[in-house]
A and B are shown apart, each in its own frame.
Chain A
Amino acid sequence: MQVAEAFKHAFLKQMLLGFQASVVSPKSMGFQERKSAIKLSADVAMAVARGTRKWTRGLIAGLSKEHQNRSFLQLILGEQYERLMKPCHSSWKIPRCKKIVRRSLRVCCRRKKKKNQVGVLARTLVAKRTQELKILVPGGESMDGFSLLDETLDYVVSLRAQADLMQSLLTTIEASKLRSHSKGTLPERKASYVGN
């Protein structure tokens, strides 16, 4: 597993903070609202804990498009929010790369005219899937092939960590619930522990 423990720690803390900040409580919110608030704080926590990557920026940008999320985001991110909202300038590089790639493709095609059909078919398949991946990965539309794969790698690792963390959070909550039920019936044991 490539996830650093620090990332998990930061993630968890941010998520708990986010829960508190969004004041997730049963009284004020319905089920759907609660769910979306939890998901929002989880996503923001993941983005914040990971640091500055293209997909984190894309994620936060996508989340801030919804007007209701903006106050929450501003709260969590503070001044970084303004900085993150600035447009990403890395897309300027792409046209130049594409020119060279096209030229080299032409050169390669001239050499390999016989394998044209197979190459074209494979290329279209790859292109279609790349397009799908660009939709899935946040902020993926503005990336070229290589950086898309890089960001996907990072995103997958973080997503997996997010799922694991949420799962463990869930289990601990349930465990603590069980314990709190049993704790009420055994106060004397608690006193003996405290006495230690």
Chain B
Amino acid sequence: MNSGSSDRTPGCFLNQNWERSVDHISQFGSFMSPQSSSELERGLQRLDHLTEEILPQSHFMDSSGNSQALGGLVIAGNRALAHLDQFPADPGFAARAARFSSFDGQSYGWFSGHFELPGSGKPSTAAIIQSLTASGLQIGHLECNRQIPVSDGLQSKMNSAGPAISREETSLSDPISASNAKKRKAPSRSREKGAASPKPSTDPPKVADEEDSDTKRCRSSEKTHEIGIDNVKPKLEQNDGARSNGNDEQKQRKEGNDKPCEPPKDYIHVRARRGQATDSHSLAERVRREKISQRMKLLQDLVPGCSKVTGKAVMLDEIINYVQSLQRQVEFLSMKLATVNPQLDFDNLVNLHAKDMIQLCGSLPNSAAYSSEMSMVSSYADVPQQRGILHCIATNGMDFHCAVNMLDTTGHQDLNAHQASLGGFGDPSSQQGFFWEDDLQNIVQMGIGQDQEIVASSHNLHGGTSQAAQMKIEL
């Protein structure tokens, strides 16, 4: 790769450091087992520093020898590109970034066909985004990094490492953690602006803000993968301090009561406001009332057409109506399903599941992402890819599933050997088995399984290639 003369000296420096880092990363073996995440962090941090200093990434390609190193490079490139997005547009930057991310090993043959290099050396952020999302796709496919999942349609939204993290954000279900993340957005904005000011970029506050808030949200949910950005690291401690829901609730309430943050305890500290009674009963009563009003506010957002209504009684009325209508809707839908059902047989259920994944994904905010991925994958019609995509979509949800599913299953009924061999995901569905249809089981396990399960299920899947082919066509 021929780089500018001005780049040569730092380039050589980069090359040397790069080889070291690459060796370090390539030691990880089969990529991204959780144990190696800490090593990866260190390696990535080093890479981050390296790439922050120096713009050209041509040396990425020079030194990458194997696909494992490439995986590390791709991830590092993601982060690097995230930083470099704030950099001044480099004429060859987009081209190099594109080439870098499209430089793929044997396993990513499908990807290069999809990717297009920008013809002129224009520093289009679209190319950067494309490369980012493409490498994000690769990473998702590697299943190495839960936090840089597959996402394609976020080009309009993000032009930084956002694609990886904003998907985390949309799948966050807890309203409290979401509101907490919103709270943290405000103080971070000023910090990110300060960091981004020396480097002109297309829209620094928006990008930086979104990236920052998204990285923080990412951190609040996942602790294992921590890519160190210097200006975001201090916030990490903040997030760790306010981890549990109870803590967050108390903190919010306390801030509503004009009180500074207090250490997490079982009982609630409340300070009486000026001009109000200080005896314990009214304080407790006030706390209770504020809790209730907070819940009412949340319900107000949830129930449609309740934003203008004030007062408990009317709100409750609306809530009751809404719950009744939802219950009636469920009844009606189950009736419709009963009429449709005669045509339903197990084969259809198998195909159905794959399509439903798409539909479910389609109903989410970043629906365009998944549907476009699905079409992309189906156009290549490669079974391993499908498995990978389905798995990617499922695993990102699985992280939250661990948190959401609080049914503590103490044991798993090993109903058949295949299930037993799979990593024992603490899931009620692992206890099923009486009426498992083999193909459905494979696909479901595919969806909810963890990394190693994909390998195990591949045998069964190859056995049922006709089903898979049908799935392909349905897609």
Binding site for B on A (CB under 8 A): 1-10, 12-14, 16-17, 19-21, 23-24, 26, 31, 34-35, 38-39, 42, 48-52, 75-80, 100-101, 103-105, 107-108, 122, 125-126, 129-130, 132-133, 136-137, 145-146, 149-150, 152-153, 155-157, 159-160, 162-177, 179-180, 183, 190, 193-194, 196
Asked if B261 is at the interface of the complex by the 8 Å CB criterion, the answer is no
- What is the count of residue pairs linking A and B with beta-carbon distances less than 8 angstroms? 257
Given contacts A136-B323, A176-B351, contact A165 B399 (CB under 8 A): no
Q: Do B292 and A48 have beta carbons less than 8 Å apart?
A: no
Q: Which residues of B contact A26 (CB under 8 A)?
A: 341-342
B282, B313, B411, B437: the one within 8 Å of A108 (CB): B282
Is the beta-carbon distance between B429 and A13 smaller than 8 angstroms? yes
Docked pose: A170 CA to B282 CA in angstroms: 52
Number of interface residues of B (CB under 8 A): 98
Q: A24-B341, A107-B279, A146-B295 are known; give 8 further A-B pairs, CB within 8 A.
A: A14-B428, A20-B436, A34-B338, A39-B330, A136-B320, A149-B296, A153-B295, A176-B351
Most B Cβ at <10 Å: residue of A6, A130, A133 = A6
Which positions 251-304 of chain B face chain A at CB distance < 8 Å? 279, 281-282, 284-285, 288, 291-292, 295-296, 298-299, 302-303
Are B323's CB and A146's CB within 8 A? no
In the complex the two chains form, what is the Cα distance from A103 to B365 in whole Å? 48
Given contacts A20-B435, A126-B316, A166-B334, contact A9 B326 (CB under 8 A): no
A129 CA / B312 CA spacing, docked (Å): 10
Q: Does B61 count as interface, using CB distance less than 8 angstroms?
A: no
Structural contact, B327 and A10, CB atoms closer than 8 A: no
Given A9-B397, A129-B313, A136-B324, A152 contacting B349 (CB threshold 8 A)? no
B376-408 to A contact mask, C-beta < 8 Å, 1/0: 000011000000000001101111110011111
A168 near B291 with CB under 8 A, answer: no
* B175: Cβ under 8 A from any A Cβ: yes
A78 vs B419: C-alpha distance when bound (angstroms):
16
| Closest chain B residue, CB of each to CB of A135 | B320
Q: Assess whether B334 is in contact with A172, with CB atoms less than 8 Å apart.
A: no
Which residues in B have their C-beta under 8 angstroms from that of A8?
360, 397
**CB within 8 Å for A21 and B360 given contacts A4-B171, A133-B323:** no
The interface-forming segment of B89-97, B136-144, B466-474 is B466-474
The docked-state distance in angstroms from the alpha carbon of A173 to that of B281 is: 57
Is B317 close to A, CB under 8 A? yes
Q: Which of B152-179 contact A (CB under 8 A)?
A: 171-175, 178
Q: Any chain A CB within 8 A of the CB of B319?
A: yes
> Of A16, A35, A133, which is within 8 A of B316 by CB?
A133
Question: Quick one: which of B309-325 are within 8 Å of A by CB?
Answer: 311-313, 316-317, 319-320, 322-324
| CB-defined contacts of B295 to chain A, threshold 8 Å | 146, 149-150, 153
Complex Cα gap A89–B192 (Å):
49
- Chain B residues, Cβ within 8 Å of A152: 299, 319, 323
Complex CA–CA separation, A147 to B359 (angstroms): 34
Residues of chain B within 8 A of A31, CB atoms compared: 338-339
B55 interface residue (CB < 8 Å to A):
no
Chain A interface mostly: helix
Residue of B nearest to A106 (CB): B281
Residues in A neighbouring B437, C-beta threshold 8 A:
20
Please measure, in the bound complex, the distance between the C-alpha atom of A109 and the C-alpha atom of B72, giving whole angstroms: 68
| CA A51 to CA B426, docked complex, whole Å | 12
| Contact A104 B285, beta carbon cutoff 8 Å | yes
A9 to B316, CA, bound (A): 31
27 residue pairs bridging A and B, Cβ less than 8 Å apart? A4-B397, A5-B393, A5-B397, A6-B397, A7-B397, A7-B404, A9-B360, A12-B353, A17-B429, A26-B341, A35-B334, A77-B428, A79-B409, A101-B288, A129-B316, A129-B317, A129-B320, A133-B323, A136-B320, A145-B288, A146-B292, A153-B299, A153-B302, A160-B326, A163-B329, A163-B330, A169-B352
**When chains A and B are docked, how far (Å) is the Cα of A121 from the Cα of B338?**
46
Residues in A with CB closer than 8 Å to B175 are: 2
A112 nearest CB across to chain B (Å): 12
Minimum CB–CB distance from B320 to chain A (whole Å) comes to: 5
Q: Which of B75-83, B204-212, B230-238, B440-448 contacts A (4 or more CB under 8 A)?
A: B440-448
Identity of the chain A residue whose Cβ is nearest the Cβ of B362 in the assembled complex: A168
Q: Which residue of B lies closest to A190 (CB)?
A: B473
Nearest CB of chain A from residue B332's CB, rounded to whole Å: 9
**A75 and B326 alpha carbons, distance in the complex (Å):** 27
In the assembly, what is the distance between CA of A6 and CA of B403, in Å?
Answer: 10
Q: Does A165 contact B360, Cβ atoms closer than 8 Å?
A: yes
Q: Does B62 contact A (CB under 8 A)?
A: no
Chain A residue numbers with a CB within 8 Å of B340 are 170, 173-174, 177
Partner of A16, one of B284, B349, B398, B474: B349
Interface residues of B in 37-88 (CB under 8 A from A): none
The CA of A176 and the CA of B405, in the complex, are separated in Å by 31
Task: Output the nearest chain A residue to B358 by Cβ-Cβ distance.
Answer: A172
Per-position binary interface string of chain B over residues 23-36, scored 1 when its CB falls under 8 Å from any chain A CB and 0 otherwise: 00000000000000
- A125 pairs with B313, CB closer than 8 A: yes
Shortest C-beta distance, A27 to chain B (Å), equals 9
The interface residues of chain B lying within 8 Å CB-to-CB of A16 are: 349, 352-353, 440, 444
| Bound form: Cα–Cα A9–B447 in Å | 8
